[in-house]
Chain A
């Protein structure tokens, strides 16, 4: 009896010691297999001759060569640069501006904050569809202006192959800038009020306080916001599908829609895997320096 109770307590003790590891293990194993396992598998596919079905014949860098010779891939990459660049910059600017304005202890802050944040609660498919209707010249804004009597009003970006990608920027900014605002607002509220009061005492003007003290002190939030926005931009897929369908032609294709087309419509698994690896490389180029600085920074602080 005594022996069994001591093994039981031993068991309990070791269970208690390892409980956290045991609980984490399944999700660790799952992410090891489903995330990293499939990344390796995709990398392998990109070196194979796969077309309709995965095959494992070595093709070297041929799929990457073919990828970079495709006009459509160049369009997709160029669009990613335009879309990603504008999306990040405009979101940061608007988000920061809105946060600063809301930070002025205004009366309806709660309501306004909710209004700006709500777009984030929508799925990109909904955003895309709504903006498709708004921006369609024969249906939305342009028609409304014409009906109101402004006959020369013209806003046909959605159907213009040179400008279609900018409509994606508009919709994406509308959706994400509220979220960025919330991030900044939280950071602004976290700034030490004593420093600000001290600056007031010294007679600093409000813009000077913002530019000189507050914004520099919330610099880490900029970095987090950029990382969040950048990966949203790279993996952007549903918004383009709903808004422009990649068109007119393929003028608003992004790498993610390119990859989908190659894998699921063209039976070009090899090229599609190569493009997926290029996307991964892009995300890594953003995330790795960030993680590096974060981890190093953490050590310094600790």
Chain B
């Protein structure tokens, strides 16, 4: 009896081994990400389902915490020990930094087959490519420069839509303030200060100036009169927020607009998710408008993407290719972006099911792409590598939270960038 049991166990073991070696051929992908809550978690689940329906084996490696800081620490140690995950949620210039280390895989055959060059916007292609080769795939496009406003409060001072120029913004904010309404809901965290800053740079200077100042880091632009006006405007905006703003999370600021405690918020379209989740209707309960533009329209984008790391083994390489194909595919782009509140990072996806703000976002993007106004966001790590954008954010937040003069802020900006560069 005992003998037959052990024979049985051995048989089961061999069967398990056999099935394991059979399973070896199925495309496998380990995905490292930090989308662990709310709409983001649902969006990842959608990708997983899609991947498994195509015969893939999905290994989930979620690392929550610190808006990705924790995941990056895990990634560093995994790569150093020679055991990189197949796909990692990475964005902006971080992709280039990893590619420079020689850690990323080449996706050119998938790109060619799926005609990525034709469907992905040029500016986003540049971020996904390293020396002309695709190494990462985009999943969405968030627009950063939105103003979300409460129509009821705007109506109290006779306004029906968001301001078109910064002068209009100031007049409107002064009126609101005089009426006893907090004009701007804002959370005093460095990245939120930087979000306002970059929309002011884009609005007052125009797309060309934004490119020079915050992407090329041209010293003349950083010390120009326009930049001085930008810092002056930041000082004004400081007067339009309520006194309790420091440390507030962005979603609480969004709630202030929703609950009629403040009239407007400058924030990317992830804020829309908060309105929609509360059952609010765009155009009726809340308004979305592009941030003021004095010098030509612009669209600051924040794109999430997955970078594909070099992996060993046929099953893993196949899995990686399948994953890349599915991520850029129309089906995933639609489901994911409906859940996340962003718009697809490719053309050819029907927008019928999307809300009005997303439709406006897509229309503006198409228009701004032609005029050169489609630009990567600095505050959200799309335009510059971490050490440079960090240096800028430091100065912006120090200026916003103190009584530093605009001239001093400009000097510090140039110094901080120089220091971070070498």
Contact = CB atoms under 8 A, between A and B. Distances in A.
Interface string A200-237: 00000000000000000000000000000000000000
Among A138, A161, A164, the one with the most B-chain Cβ atoms within 10 Å of its Cβ is A161
Contacts of B247: 132, 158-159, 244-245, 247-248
Contact of A250 (B76, B97, B101, B398): B398
Interface string A69-88: 11110000000000000000
A42 interface: no
28 contacts: A51-B97, A51-B387, A52-B97, A53-B76, A70-B416, A71-B394, A71-B416, A137-B243, A138-B243, A139-B244, A156-B243, A161-B402, A244-B246, A245-B189, A247-B189, A247-B246, A247-B397, A248-B188, A248-B247, A248-B401, A249-B397, A249-B400, A249-B402, A250-B190, A264-B72, A267-B385, A267-B386, A268-B387
A266 B385 CA distance: 8
Contacts of A266: 386-387, 390
A7 interface: no
A268 B97 CA distance: 13
Interface in B361-412: 385-387, 390, 394, 397-398, 400-402, 412
A18 interface: no
B69 A264 contact: yes
Interface of A is mostly: loop
A267 B243 contact: no
Interface of B: 66, 69, 72-73, 76, 79-80, 97-98, 101, 188-190, 193, 242-247, 385-387, 390, 394, 397-398, 400-402, 412, 416, 419-420, 422
A247 B401 contact: yes
B188 A250 contact: no
A66 interface: yes
Nearest to A162: B402
A53 B100 CA distance: 11
Nearest to A51: B387
A47 to B, nearest CB: 16
Interface in A55-100: 62, 66, 69-72
Given A136-B244, A159-B243, A249 B386 contact: no
A251 interface: yes
A249 B401 contact: yes
A265 interface: yes
